[in-house]
Amino acid sequence: MMRHFTTSLLILTLAAFLIRGIIYVALGSWLPLAWIVAVLAILGTARVLGRRHGQIAVKAWGVFLILYGVFRIGLATLLYFLPINSPHAMHHTGLVFVAISALYLCAGVNLVIARRDNFRLARAT
Amino acid sequence: MRFWGSLAGLVLLVTGPVMAQDSSVLEASQRDFVERFLDATQPARSTVSQREIAADFLIAELERRGLVAERRPYLEPNVHPILDLIMPPFSGTNITASIPATRDEASLIVLGAHYDSEAGSPGADDNASGIAALISIAVNLSRMPERRYSVMLAFFDQEEEGKVGSQALVRQLLADKIDIHSMHSIDMAGWDSDGDGAIEIDAPDIWFARYQNAATRLEIPVSRASYDSTDHVSFRAHGIDAICLSEAFRAGDSSPHRHRSSDMAETLNHAYLAANTELMLAVLRDTLSGAAE
């Protein structure tokens, strides 16, 4: 059950970045799609190399999500206390932005912890 | 004062072409427009809701003058690609109105000014002045019996964020395979503290010569300048002839109220704004009638 949840989280977070990438490609910006394609390629390659490599790659993705979430929350906090002269930035770094960032953060923590448990289980058996 | 401005505006709407009237009527109508625009959009045209109010106002103003206005929403990437990983895209709405040519397969002349303002600034000079000028010009051009080119009046969103609206519009027009003849913009054209009437023009050689000729006829002193911070640059980046008229930035005579809460209608020099309007109108009338080519 927990494993299904973790897999779902992995797929959801990758899908979120993939959708972002597709939206930005339509606007002429390739970086978000290039990033997620690279991540998918690394995850896929690691999985092919073996289960342990796959788990390490997923854990790395979890660490990225933690850093991503923390960075976004930090950015929103900074802009709250030191507002800049960009209505776009100010408008899009409000409560919804922080809530979504917290979700990324929680998903990252879950991916890291879940995989660590799996390592322990694997060692014990 | 406002009553007389409104009366002049009403007279203008009823009686016909802007420049056929006395310059004082043009000044009064532009003053009236700027005051009403600022009243409707105070304290600024910066946030999403403020810009929506401004867009509604402009559409109503264009339709009141017999021009069919259109909202052109857009999404644009962030200023730096790295930000695309973190932030949602820019979203905004350009307002356009088309004045068709009187012949087939004519290319398009874009008249552009941005309608947003800096946060906390009412933006009378920056850039209600440009909007007022272009509305007057568009109404006049729409009444020409013959036009060799189509004209699109475009009010850009999010110039203050980095020319976002104009970048979006030029991309949309080129994606639609529209042949853009040239782009003419006005940004900040209502400040002339030394009273010399000097107008700065950023234009390619051929267009600067045309503006200079018209300025000589109208006895308006012009000088050449180069700007990279306003909307015409978005068109120039795609190889399109793009022109910007502005107050004398390079000569040091530009509004000290720019981007401040004091950028109010009463700080504008409306006679100077009318001169800017007349200069651009003269060049465009020559171009549309074929006299310039």
When pLDDT is averaged across residues B230-236 and rounded to a whole number, the result is 97
Q: Which residues of A touch B81 (CB under 8 A)?
A: 29-31
Counting one residue from A and one from B, how many pairs have CB atoms under 8 Å apart? 47
Please tell me the predicted confidence (pLDDT) of residue B16: 39
Please tell me the predicted confidence (pLDDT) of residue A1: 62
For residue A125, what pLDDT band results from cuts at 50, 70 and 90? very low
Strand partners, B155: B95, B113
Question: Each residue of A55-72: pLDDT tens digit?
Answer: 999 999 999 999 999 999
Closest listed residue to residue B276, CA positions, set B190, B194, B182, B204: B190
> What's the complex ipTM?
0.87
Q: At what angle do helices B129-142 and B48-64 cross, to 10 degrees?
A: 30
Q: Contact, B144 vs B158, CB < 8 A?
A: no
Q: Which residues of B touch A65 (CB under 8 A)?
A: none
pTM summary value: 0.88
Question: Each residue of B77-136: pLDDT tens digit?
Answer: 998 999 999 999 999 999 999 999 998 877 999 999 999 999 999 999 999 999 999 999
Task: Give CA–CA dist B39/B41, Å, rounded.
Answer: 6
Please tell me the predicted confidence (pLDDT) of residue A117: 55
> DSSP states of A21-55 as a string?
HHHHHHTT--HHHHHHHHHHHHHHHHHHH-HHHHH
Chain B from 90 to 129: CB within 8 A of any A CB: 90, 118-119
Is the model's pLDDT at B220 over the cut of 60?
yes
Please tell me the predicted confidence (pLDDT) of residue A4: 82
User: Distance from B70 to chain A by nearest Cα, in Å?
Assistant: 21
Question: Each residue of B22-71: pLDDT tens digit?
Answer: 688 999 999 999 999 999 999 999 999 999 999 999 999 999 999 999 99
For residue A43, what pLDDT band results from cuts at 50, 70 and 90? very high
Q: What values do phi and psi take at B268, rounded to 5?
A: -80, 150
Dig out the tokens for B227 from the structure.
């700007």
When CB atoms are compared, the residue of B75, B85, B118 closest to A32 is: B85
A121 touches chain B (CB under 8 A): no
> Is there a contact between A23 and B89 if contact means CB atoms under 8 Å apart?
yes
B239 touches chain A (CB under 8 A): no
Is the model's pLDDT at A31 over the cut of 90?
yes
Is the model's pLDDT at B17 over the cut of 70?
no
Is the model's pLDDT at B13 over the cut of 50?
no
Task: Give CA–CA dist B251/B261, Å, rounded.
Answer: 24
For residue B6, what pLDDT band results from cuts at 50, 70 and 90? low
When pLDDT is averaged across residues B7-15 and rounded to a whole number, the result is 46
Please tell me the predicted confidence (pLDDT) of residue A60: 96
> Checking phi first, is residue B152 left (phi over 0); if not, alpha (psi -120 to 50) or beta?
beta
Q: Which residues of B touch A32 (CB under 8 A)?
A: 84-85
Question: Each residue of B158-196: pLDDT tens digit?
Answer: 999 999 999 999 999 999 999 999 999 999 999 999 999
